[in-house]
Amino acid sequence: MSVAERAGPGVARVPALAVFAYYLVGYRRTWRAGVFSSFLLPVLTVLGFGVGVGAYVDRGVGGVPYLDWLVPGLIASTAFQVAVAESTWPVLSNFRWIGTYSAQAAAPLRIGDIMGGHLAFVLFRVLTSTVAFLLVTALFGALRSPWAAVVPLVGLLLGLAVAAPVFAFSAAVPSDSYLALLFRFAVIPMTLFAGVFFPVEQLPGGLRQVAYVTPLWHGVDLCRAATLGVAPQWSVPGHLLYLAAWSVGGWLLARRVFRRALVV
């Protein structure tokens, strides 16, 4: 049991904001490379998929040029992949290799502080990556609606809906071999078949229903509706509630796994 939990609620404790600041201090040493890749990768992706492949898609998709249709899917996919990347090896290493979580649990920090601070940093990375991608695509003229301004908020909700359950998974697995399986059997298929590169309606019925279950499809549909200025396939409240359910469920599961691993 941590110092704060043994002593009770009267003990002054360090909030999750301090844990978030801890990760920001470490990020100060690597942010330059991160900023470079945050802008370079969107440029290469838009040029490769949007301009290169898009040149072969004469009719576009639904009357929209392929580049304009593709961009919101790529933005949502970026938020999704950043959330997963920041919630796998960093979480596992904090448990198995570096012991950061154990050190934090020995301080006046509660499980919610440890998780909340780290999740806040993950969402910070999601937000910066999403905004960078949005700025790049704006330069390519691929944003057709002022509603594109809400895309970073969608990216944050999608990032939380993904990061929270992945935190639980990464905290529970005994080695990083399981993380490779997560990417191979979940992240890559979800990226390919959740409506990022082509409409989900092109899939057979069974696969289509699986795509609708994934949080990425909901993020893609919201981002696409915002950047194109059209109505989403689902209702906006339905999308938001679904992603919120993933976020809350993932948080509760991760909190349980963290508590079991850290509270003795």
The SS3 of residue 64 is strand
Confidence of residue 36 (pLDDT cuts 50, 70, 90): low
The SS3 of residue 229 is coil
Sign of CA dihedral 11, 21, 118, 261: negative
Q: What is the pLDDT of residue 66?
A: 84
Q: What is the pLDDT of residue 7?
A: 38
Confidence of residue 61 (pLDDT cuts 50, 70, 90): confident
pLDDT tops 80 at residue 40: no
* pLDDT tens digit sequence for 154-180: 999 999 999 999 999 999 999 999 999
CA-closest candidate to residue 215, choices 184, 191, 198, 231: 191
pLDDT tops 60 at residue 119: yes
Q: What is the pLDDT of residue 80?
A: 97
Sign of CA dihedral 249, 251, 254, 259: negative
Within its chain, how far is the Cα of 54 from the centroid?
A: 26
Identify the residue with better confidence: 7 or 224: 224
Helix axes 151-172, 236-262, angle to 10 degrees: 30
Burial category of 119 from C-beta neighbours within 10 Å (exposed 0-12, middle 13-18, buried 19 and up): buried
Question: Residue 257 in contact with residue 171, Cβ under 8 Å?
Answer: yes
* pLDDT tens digit sequence for 134-159: 998 888 888 899 999 999 999 999 99
Q: What is the pLDDT of residue 9?
A: 46
